[in-house]
């Protein structure tokens, strides 16, 4: 297992890091305060700079205008981008669009790729992914109730979804709906492409997350599908293949998230060190001089470095042996890195005192929005159970 970084990748990472520090971080606070829509023109200008540098869409295939990086190479870039709240968006690799690009590239028909995939990959439109339902357990997608019934050459969708990230302003949604309720649980659901201007598709609200409803890409919508009629040509993949497609989409996506979280950890860690070395608490004594803080700092450093190595191992395994071979690693990094991020952000906020609760640093934003990392894409408990069962099976137990 070789984690050595090719010279080209190392140089790319260094240059992207300089761009993030020089062009994104200085404007982050003002753009967040203004709101996504007000910041969109500035963000689009930054995206044009990224395209001009040849850095657009690191994980997307080259035929779609991306860099076509391996999962391991993209993981390294993702950590750098994760240092800024807007990093992945400005580089065209943000969720949920990046996952939808992968899905459409793998399963889309020629017509679907032309109409939906190519504009999405170019960053001309945004999309969303609608699976979780407000009255069903999000941890078990076989329990979905949103229905898709055939009607001549169409499908008619009825149901409600929520925590649909970026639904506000999205051009289309990839919706997972039950097409055959009598089929085995994992063959009941199918994926559909639903343009958001389709009659019957309605954005009910942006769900407030710890007091912040957000807007545009920085939001989580609740949507209603009421007699929403789409042509059969908008079915994505085979009928009954929704569960398998979702698993394939979420696997690499979890690695992308985890390396973004490592970037958040590093940002929080640097802020914590800066605050502790500058903050005097008694005469000339600094917070950094306190043994208890030094122990916390060491624990955070160890956890971050351990988390990074686990993610790189998962990415390497997927690149070389495939998704199935990395199932245990993916579950482990999903819950472990999410827990580490929570611990590091919490420690950094604590070190900042009252300042950490304000919006003068990104820590309060992380605290509010990234706590969900232990819930979405499978809660901690599910991933721990999954990993434990697979480990027992590997040992013949």
Q: What is the pLDDT of residues 5-58, one digit of tens each?
A: 788 888 999 999 999 999 999 999 999 999 999 999 999 999 999 999 999 999
Contact 384, 335 (CB under 8 A): yes
Rg (CA), the chain: 21
Q: Helix 327-352 crosses helix 380-394 at what angle (to 10 degrees)?
A: 140
Alpha-helical segments (H) within the chain: 7-19, 25-34, 36-53, 71-81, 87-90, 97-107, 110-112, 118-121, 242-278, 291-321, 327-352, 354-357, 363-369, 380-394
The structure's pTM equals 0.93
Residue 96 is encoded by which pair of tokens?
Answer: 């949920």
What percentage of residues in the chain have a pLDDT greater than 90?
Answer: 84
**CA quadruple 224, 230, 235, 240: dihedral sign:** positive
In which element (H, E) is residue 175 found? strand 172-178
Length of the chain: 397
Do residues 166 and 127 lie in contact, with contact meaning Cβ atoms separated by under 8 Å?
yes
Q: Any idea what DSSP says for residue 326?
A: G
Distance CA 96, CA 101 (A): 9
Ordered per-residue pLDDT tens for the chain, 397 residues? 776 778 888 899 999 999 999 999 999 999 999 999 999 999 999 999 999 999 999 989 999 999 999 888 988 999 999 999 999 999 999 999 999 999 999 999 999 999 999 999 999 999 999 999 998 887 787 889 999 999 999 999 999 999 999 999 999 999 999 999 999 999 999 999 999 999 999 999 999 999 889 999 999 999 999 999 999 999 999 999 999 898 877 767 788 889 999 999 999 999 999 999 999 988 889 999 999 999 999 999 999 999 999 999 999 999 899 888 999 999 999 999 999 999 999 999 999 999 999 999 999 999 999 999 999 888 899 999 999 999 999 999 8
Other beta carbons within 10 angstroms of residue 368's beta carbon come to 13
146: region left, alpha or beta (phi > 0 left; psi from -120 to 50 alpha): beta
């Amino acid at each position: 297992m070789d984690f050595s970084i090719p010279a080209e990748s190392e140089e790319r990472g260094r240059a992207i890091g300089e761009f993030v520090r020089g062009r994104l971080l200085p404007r982050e606070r003002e753009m967040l305060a203004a709101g996504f829509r007000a910041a969109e023109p500035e963000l689009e200008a930054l995206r044009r700079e990224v395209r001009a540098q040849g850095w657009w869409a690191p994980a997307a295939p080259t035929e779609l205008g991306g860099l076509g990086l391996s999962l391991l190479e993209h993981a390294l870039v993702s950590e750098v981008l994760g240092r800024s709240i807007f990093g992945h968006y400005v580089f065209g690799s943000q969720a949920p669009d990046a996952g939808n690009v992968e899905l459409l590239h793998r399963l889309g028909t020629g017509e679907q790729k032309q109409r939906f995939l190519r504009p999405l990959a170019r960053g001309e439109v945004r999309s969303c992914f609608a699976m979780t339902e407000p009255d069903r357990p999000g941890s078990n997608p076989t329990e979905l109730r949103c229905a898709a019934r055939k009607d001549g050459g169409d499908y008619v969708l009825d149901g409600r979804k929520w925590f649909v990230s970026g639904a506000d302003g999205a051009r289309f949604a990839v919706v997972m709906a039950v097409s055959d309720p009598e089929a085995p649980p994992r063959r009941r659901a199918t994926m559909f492409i639903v343009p958001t201007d389709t009659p019957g598709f309605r954005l009910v609200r942006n769900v407030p997350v710890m007091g912040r409803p957000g807007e545009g890409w920085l939001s989580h919508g609740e949507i209603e599908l009421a007699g929403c009629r789409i042509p059969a040509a908008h079915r994505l993949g085979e009928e009954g293949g929704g569960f398998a497609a979702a698993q394939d989409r979420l696997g690499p996506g979890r690695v992308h998230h985890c390396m973004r979280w490592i970037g958040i950890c590093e940002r929080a860690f640097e802020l914590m060190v800066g605050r502790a070395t500058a903050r005097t608490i008694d005469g000339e004594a600094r917070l950094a001089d306190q043994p208890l803080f030094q122990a916390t700092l060491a624990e955070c450093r160890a956890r971050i470095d351990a988390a990074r190595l686990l993610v790189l191992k998962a990415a390497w395994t997927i690149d070389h042996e495939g998704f199935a071979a990395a199932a245990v690693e993916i579950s482990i990094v999903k819950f472990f890195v999410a827990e580490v991020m929570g611990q590091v952000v919490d420690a950094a906020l604590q070190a900042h005192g009252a300042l950490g609760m304000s919006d003068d640093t990104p820590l309060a934003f992380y605290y509010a929005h990234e706590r969900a990392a232990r819930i979405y894409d499978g809660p901690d408990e599910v991933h721990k159970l999954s990993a434990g069962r697979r480990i027992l099976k590997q040992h013949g137990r």
